[in-house]
Amino acid sequence: MTQRDWYRVLSRLNLNQVLTFLVVAEEKSFRSAALRMHLSPSAVSVQIQQLERVLGVLLFHRTTRSVVPTRDGMALAEVAQRISAELADITTQLRDEAQLQKGLVTVVAMPTFAYMLLPQLMCRFAELYPNVEIRLLDFDSPRALEMLQQGDADLAVLARTRDLKAFEFIHLFEDELVVIIPADSNMFEGRQEVSTEEVAREQLLLSPSGTQTRALVDQIFARAQCQPRVRQECQRPQTLLALVEHGLGIAILPRTAVVDINLSRVRIASLDSKPMREVGIVYPRNMSLSPAAQSFKDFLSHAKPQLANDKPLSL
């Protein structure tokens, strides 16, 4: 049967008539079915007659004492019971999701945000909606956008870039890029702000080329018209911080990467240009969000975490 054929056949059926048929088949009585469905016996009889006319077969053997499904009626009942059970299940599931009684939201975030920002917010959201599961994934920005496009994630928490034309972006906070210096080094001692030119002359520990953070760092040096001395490249901020702690160089990282770290082994200084990246919620522009995803998006957008100088995120 082609798609056009099944639509032509099924478009003539009335779901209420099929459900009435199932109740009559179970009760084996028009009167009992009418009581169960809060209808009159004549209304039940009319619905069965209408269904029989559409199908072109008799569905019941009618006697003064009982109503028994015919062979055609038994065949219809077998299929209709299975389909109605599946419809009932999906209807219940969709209603529960609409009322946030259940649901799954997949959120992908850059590792810094996945580590620093989202776990606390997920805990707060779980207090409001304990039956909605938040699945957190940590990937870089290109992979996160790819997952959004493919439908493998509902939302992302990323820094704004130029390649977000197909996505909506909701601002959350500004994230400053800062210089991380070994605590026992005399470099920039006693200073809270340093120039880009000074930093470029030191041994630098940076994120790899091709990452979003590195692109921002390269822009900083390009504007200052200076060439940085890159000693080491590492993907994870935690690795770069460990290298700084052991005196192998200095790093430039977003402030979110150093919130709550042990400041006894490193010092933080601002760059004179105060470079910032804008962090926000990203989701596909032309795709509808599920009720659970919409709720978590609204929750994140109202949380509005702020990043103040030398202070942890206020959530």
- How do the domains of the chain map onto residue ranges? 3-98, 103-172+279-303, 175-277
What is residue 310's predicted lDDT score, i.e. its pLDDT? 38
Residues 6 or more apart in contact with residue 86 via CB below 8 angstroms = none
Structure tokens that stand for 34 in this block: 């009418």
Structure tokens that stand for 68 in this block: 């028994």
What is residue 98's predicted lDDT score, i.e. its pLDDT? 67
* Per-residue confidence band for 312, with pLDDT thresholds at 50, 70 and 90: very low
52-61 long-range CB contacts below 8 Å, 24 or more apart?
54/12, 54/13, 54/14, 54/17, 59/21, 60/24, 60/25
Report whether 51 contacts 73 (CB < 8 A).
Answer: no
CATH number of the 3-98 domain = 1.10.10.10
- Residue range 46-104, pLDDT digits in tens: 999 999 998 889 999 988 778 999 999 999 999 999 988 888 888 777 776 766 667 88
- Residue range 206-232, pLDDT digits in tens: 988 888 788 889 999 999 999 999 999
Kindly report whether the global pTM for this prediction surpasses the value 0.85: no
Q: Is 72 exposed, middle or buried (0-12, 13-18, 19+ CB in 10 A)?
A: middle
Q: CA–CA distance from 30 to each of 4, 20, 34, 98, 290 (Å)?
A: 35, 10, 6, 36, 42
The distance from CA 229 to its chain's CA centroid, rounded to whole angstroms, is: 39
Report whether 252 contacts 206 (CB < 8 A).
Answer: yes
What is residue 311's predicted lDDT score, i.e. its pLDDT? 45
What is residue 237's predicted lDDT score, i.e. its pLDDT? 84
What is residue 43's predicted lDDT score, i.e. its pLDDT? 92
Residue from 252, 283, 278, 281 nearest 266 by CA: 252
Structure-token match 């776990």, residue found:
119
175-277: which CATH number, 3.30.750.210, 1.10.1740.10, 3.40.190.10, 3.40.50.9100?
A: 3.40.190.10
What is residue 189's predicted lDDT score, i.e. its pLDDT? 85
103-172+279-303 with 175-277: one CATH topology?
yes
103-172+279-303: which CATH number, 3.40.50.12160, 3.40.50.2300, 3.20.20.80, 3.40.190.10?
A: 3.40.190.10
SS (H, E, C) the chain: CCHHHHHHHHCCCCHHHHHHHHHHHHHCCHHHHHHHHCCCHHHHHHHHHHHHHHHCCCCEEECCCCEEECHHHHHHHHHHHHHHHHHHHHHHHHHHHHCCCCEEEEEEECHHHHHHCHHHHHHHHHHHCCCEEEEEEECCHHHHHHHHHHCCCCEEEEECCCCCCCEEEEEEEEEEEEEEEECCCCCCCCCCEECHHHHHCCEEEECCCCCHHHHHHHHHHHHCCCCCEEEEECCCHHHHHHHHHCCCCEEEEEHHHHCCCCCCCEEEEEECCCCEEEEEEEEECCCCCCHHHHHHHHHHHHHCCECCCCCCCEC
